[in-house]
Structures are given as C-alpha cells and as structure tokens.
Homo-oligomer: A and B are copies of this chain.
Amino acid sequence: MDAVMDVEMDGVREILEKARAAGRSALTAPEGRRICQAYGIATPGEGLATSAGEAARIAAEIGLPVVLKIVSPDILHKTDAGGVLVGLRTEGEVRDGYERVVANARAHDAAARIDGVQVQQLVGGGHEVIVGAVTDPTFGKIVAFGLGGVLVEVLKDVTFRLAPVSGDDALAMLDDIRAADVLRGARGAEPANREALAGLIERVGRLVADHPEITEVDLNPVFASAAGAVAADVRIIVGEPAPEPERPSREEILRQMTRIFRPRSVAVIGASAETGKIGNSVMRNLINGGFQGQIFPINPKASEIMGLPAYRSVADVPYDVDVAVFAIPAKFVAPALEEVGRKGAAGAIMIPSGFAETGNAEGQREIVEIARRHGVRVLGPNIYGYYYTPANLCATFCTPYDVKGGVALTSQSGGIGMAILGFSRTTRMGVSAIVGVGNKADVDEDDLLTFFEQDDHTRAVAMHLEDLKDGRGFVEAARRVVREKPVIVLKAGRTAMGARAAGSHTGALAGDDKVYDDILKQAGVVRAPGLNDMLEYARTLPLLPAPKGENVVIITGAGGSGVLLSDACVDAGLTLMDIPPDLDEAFRAHIPPFGAAGNPIDITGGEPPTTYENTVRLGLADERIHALVLGYWHTIVTPPMVFAELIARVVAEERDKGNVKPVVASLAGDTEVEEACEYLFEHGVVAYPYTTEKPVAVLGAKYRWARAAGLLR
C-alpha cells in the first residue's frame, strides 16, 4: 500500500481537529470523502457544473455514466421538479441533460435561484459490500467486512480483524464470509476485483490505526466490481481516543515470571498447622509436592509449622523471598502485601477471595496499587494457586500433581481449574503448569504466554478465559508463541446467554463472540468449542507430531467407522487425500479383493494383524501422506491389545526411520479397547474408544495450529 503523503495527512488531521473543535462527532460527507481520498479509498467522482460544457467535461473526467442533480436552495424536491437525471452515458447526453435539468427547474419555479448542476459518477453494478471499523472494548480498533443487505444484517455474515490489517489478512477476509463465493462470481455474477477490495479494507485499517480519534468508519455500500471498489457512502465518527494500556517490556515480564515459576524460596502468608485451613493445605502441597527451594511459613502465633521454622512476618525472614503465597482473609492482605513488597518478592499469589468478584473493587484496586509501587506481580486474587511441575512446585490448596509433561493450562475460574486437575489425574495428562488467574487484577494471559513461550518444558498452552483485559496484548503474545507452540483457548461466554452469565460472574464485559472468534483466529489460536474439547486438545497436541502437509488418509477395519471418520474429517476441516493410482495399487496389494481402496481404505473386518501392519506401514512410509486416521474393529483375529502393540511398534519403527507423522485412532469394540487406547496413548498414538469424532477433532486442532504456525504453506 502506498504511504499517505504528508501533505494529505495534514489535511486529514485538520479535518479531524476542526470537527472536534466544533464538538461534532460525525464528519460531513465532503469531509469523509476528502479523508477517503487522502487514503486512496475510491469514492464516486463529482463536481459542480455551471454550464453544459462544464458538465460534459466533469463527466468525462470522473467517468461515465453520471447522474445530474439540480443545485438550488429553493428546490427541495429535486425529482418532482424534473431536476434529477440518472444514467447519462455519453458527453452529448450530459450536455443535453444539463439544459433539460435547468429548463425543468425553471419551468417548475421561475423564481428559484439555480447554483448549477451537480455531476456525480453513477456507481453500482458489481457487488454491494460493507467495509467498516469500530472501537472494540477488548481489542480496540477493528475492521469489519461483509456483503451488503440481508447477508450482513440478517445472517450476520461478517468478519473482523484487528486494525491495521495486512494485505494478506484483508484478502483472507474476503474468503472468511459464508457467502465468499459470491465475490468469486458465483451464479454467473461478475467477480469482484479482489486486490482492489482488499486494498480498500487495508486502507480503512490504516486510517483508523493512524488516527486514534476516529472511533468508527462506515463505508456502506461499497460497490465491488471487476473494475475496482468504490465507497458510495462514507460515514466517519470521531471521539475521545481510548487510553493505551500500559505494557511492561517483554524482558521485564520475563524476569518477574521466571522468579515466580522457578522461585528459590516461597513464603506462605498465613501458614497453618491446622488441617482444613488453606494455609495448611498450601504448606502440605509445597512440601509433599517435592519443592526443593526454601519454604518460609509466616504466622505470628507459631514458631514452627510442619517441621519448618515459622516467622511472625515476612519481614523477619532472613533470606530473600521470591514468591509469597497469601492464605489469609482479604481484609488482612494489604498490610501483609506491603511487607512482601518491601521484602522485594517478585510474585504475590493471591488465593483469598473477597475482592472484585464479591463487589469489593476498592480492595482490589488497593492491593494492585501496593504491588505496583513495589514492583510485585499479583496472581489472582480469588484463585486456587499454581503448579509448575519442572520445579516440583505445587503452590495451591488443592492436591499435588506430579505427572510432568508438555502442556501449561490456565483458568480464570477455580471450578474449571479443579476440572483441569481431575481430568489431568484421571488421564495422566503430562503437565508443565496449571495456573489460576482468577480476577486478573494484575498478571494476565499475556504475561503467562510470555513465560511459556520461552519455557522449554512447555510445548503447548491451553487457556480458559472469560474476558481479556488487554486484547491487543494477548494477540501480540499469542502470535509470538504460536510460531513454536500451539495455544488453545476456551473462551467462555460465547453466546448471548453465556455473556450474560459472565457479566454476573466477573463483571467483565464480554465482547461480541464473532469478534473474539475472528481475532483469536487471526492470532493463530486454536479455539476449543467446549471444556472437554480444551482438555482433550491439551492432552493430545503435545503428543502429536506436527503434520507436514494436508493429505490425511483413513485406514479402517470397520467400513462403518470409515464413513463416520470421513464425516468427522470434514467437520474438522481436514482434507481426505485423493490417492494417486500407484499408491492405490500399493494399498490394494495388502487388502482383500472386496475391500475398498480409495480413501477411507477399508481393509475389512476379518483381517489379521499383518493387514493392519502392512497398510499402516505403507501410510507412514509414503511421503505423500501426511497424517493417518485409524479405525479399528475388535475381532478375534486381531484383538485390541494385539492391534495396540502392533501399531505402537510400527509407529516407533517408522519414526526411527524419519517417518514422523501424526497418527490418531478410533477403537470400536468391547471394553478391552479401553486398555488398548491407554497403551496407544502411552506410545504417542492418540486413541479413543467408542467415538469416531474425538480422535479426528484433536487431529483437526493440530492442523489448525500447524497452519497458523506456517508449517503447511
């Protein structure tokens, strides 16, 4: 996109300042057009003619056909006065038209003052689309695009992006609406000039990004034809720019977060020897969890707790303190936090409730103010604490968790945190961290992403969230992380009803979900539709290797599963490979003559282990295939554990040869298939019993990430 020339930029600033000085929030149509011109956004050409010759010249310059309109302060209803002519196609017609319009006007009212005739380019044809920008409370300036009329207004067929929008993103927006084929010329319509339309979207994004005081832009309709894209109507609203949120530097975040996740010492404010107290649970979990750093119980009434010397106050601790876990009622937090701050701690883990979530916003502001003053980062308040398994750190009032692995999980709600813990334990999910963020008074998802980004123990991040305090900060952090590791997000409050509940829970304003959906996608985030999906994605994405291409092949012993697995592939946005003849031939050599090659490859039900082995090995070895979906059918000939052991072995053998591909499996059979699935999971093959949807859904999630990370271009 061409840069806006300085002189034109000055003109734009002048218009905006003039409007604001005059206390106007809406710009006039000519002001809007002038701004559009400065940004290279095409609007219909126009000019005022005071003679037939001048009208013809203007028409030639702005392009035919044109509309002529009488300009007279005395003629209110121009059409009734014969003062409007539409669709004049030649200079001659314009010349004649000028005379006719003026004559009609005079005939209508001989006394009327006539200032001339407005010559306006007649736009139309092509497709009516809407391009706009609004200021979103979570994400700031965002750009919207949709097709005009019913599609946007009734079907809400619209897509959003953060402003500014790159050229690629603008082009992607054209494909992101459901009616995208219309612009490509469906039903014999004229295809739109995609570059011109994307360019217009990009320019609108630039415009609102350049000028914080422009709060809203509405180009509606824009006529998008093969020739170009012209904004027939321009509406621009100005207002008070929203303040930029403060963001510490990445280095600063990282320094504090590293001290929080890998502390040399942890103080427990309100440590207790009494079972049932939170301060007791935290102490027990720190010790039983195997934390190797120093633990300082803080309790004014004890000299020793669980075999460790206790201190009256954190100020009395004769060592450095990295982290202070608060296990005291809300009303005692502020003075204790002052001491923690003076002690130079990096993090205050604020378990207590009784702050903003119960209406005590003032108390919450107070602790944030104290923490800021001392450079302490606050996690919470109103949380269960956090786990970081590489440091054997269980700073929570729940129970220890020790299955180390590659996924870091965070949750805004304590209940969801408990579900994460139970699910982890029952599935033996390998975890690097589980973190409660609660009210997010200070530390939020972008701080955590910044830590997990460089944490070698973390290979995927899964986050439950109800709102984002700083949408742009989140997107920025997520985009960086996604290049290397999947980021899974469960955004609660998706629906109107859900958003209402979010309102009553955290007081957070849930934005329109479509905005979240599009912008999370723009950030490369894998969005989970529900809690269980988030948990399964978290469990499986670190296990599955990244695919190197889009060719998915289904190999199944049960034809019925093959059909359902195919359905699931379409639902998950996966591409069933069109198998070339030589490969088809190669598969056929391994399966019975009445089996079906193609894709799914139906090896049929009664086959021995060798048939599974030969076909799966071929699928792993052939470079044109990028991922395998297996359908197993429990038979006496190939029992579940025989299948599991053989698949685990073949996958390992081929992996050792460099054939590293994601393999997922659906097992249909009697209860022995459950044990077989566990075995497969332990050996890096994602396998589920009694469902054809789940294995394919997680493979789809892995693909969504791989595409966002640019691995499949």
Interface residues of A (CB under 8 A from B): 147, 149-151, 153-155, 178-179, 181-182, 186-187, 276, 353, 357-359, 398-399, 411-416, 418-419, 421-423, 425-426, 464, 466, 490, 492-498, 500-502, 504-506, 529-533, 535, 554, 556-571, 576, 594, 596, 598, 600, 602, 605-606, 631, 633-634, 636, 668-674, 689-694
| Cβ–Cβ contact A504 & B558, under 8 A | no
Q: How far is the CB of A657 from chain B (nearest CB, A)?
A: 30
- Option from B187, B414, B560 in Cβ contact (under 8 Å) with A560: B414
A255 to B628, alpha carbons, bound, how many Å? 48
A156 and chain B: residue at smallest CB distance: B178
Alpha-carbon distance between A493 and B498 when the two chains are bound, in angstroms: 32
A178 and B155 contact, CB distance less than 8 A: yes
Do the beta carbons of B179 and A466 come within 8 Å of each other? Answer: no
Q: How far is the CA of A594 from the CA of B439 in the complex (A)?
A: 15
Contacting residues, chain B, for A421 (C-beta < 8 A)? 669-670
State whether A594 touches B563 (Cβ < 8 A): no
Which chain B positions have C-beta within 8 A of A504? 559, 562, 596, 598, 600, 602
In the A-B complex, the 3 residue pairs with the closest CB atoms: A413-B560, A415-B558, A358-B594
A563's contact among B186, B358, B492, by CB below 8 Å, is which?
A: B492
Q: How far is the CA of A217 from the CA of B243 in the complex (A)?
A: 61
Query: Which residue on chain B has the smallest CB distance to residue A411?
Result: B560
Given contacts A416-B561, A668-B416, contact A594 B497 (CB under 8 A): no
A256 to chain B, nearest CB (A): 26
Residues of chain B contacted by A690 (CB below 8 angstroms): 419, 422-423, 426, 531-532, 535
Chain B residues contacting A412 (CB-CB under 8 Å) are 560
Give, as a whole number of angstroms, the nearest-CB distance from A573 to chain B: 11
**When the two chains form their complex, are residues A415 and B493 in contact, meaning their CB atoms are under 8 A apart?**
no
Of B419, B495, B563, the residue contacting A502 (CB under 8 A) is B563
Q: Are A276 and B558 in contact (CB under 8 A)?
A: no
Residue of chain B at shortest CB distance from A505: B559
A567 touches B693 (CB 8 A): no
**In the complex, what's the smallest C-beta–C-beta distance from A440 to chain B, in angstroms?**
13
Residue of B nearest to A492 (CB): B563
> Would you call B570 and A419 a contact (CB within 8 A)?
no
- What are some 10 contacts across the A-B interface (CB < 8 A)? A153-B186, A154-B187, A353-B605, A357-B594, A416-B668, A423-B690, A426-B671, A492-B567, A495-B567, A530-B564
Contact A561 B693 (CB under 8 A): no
- In the complex, besides A494-B570, A502-B563, 6 extra interface pairs with C-beta distance below 8 angstroms are A153-B187, A357-B594, A415-B561, A501-B559, A501-B562, A504-B596
Contact call A422/B634, Cβ cutoff below 8 A: yes
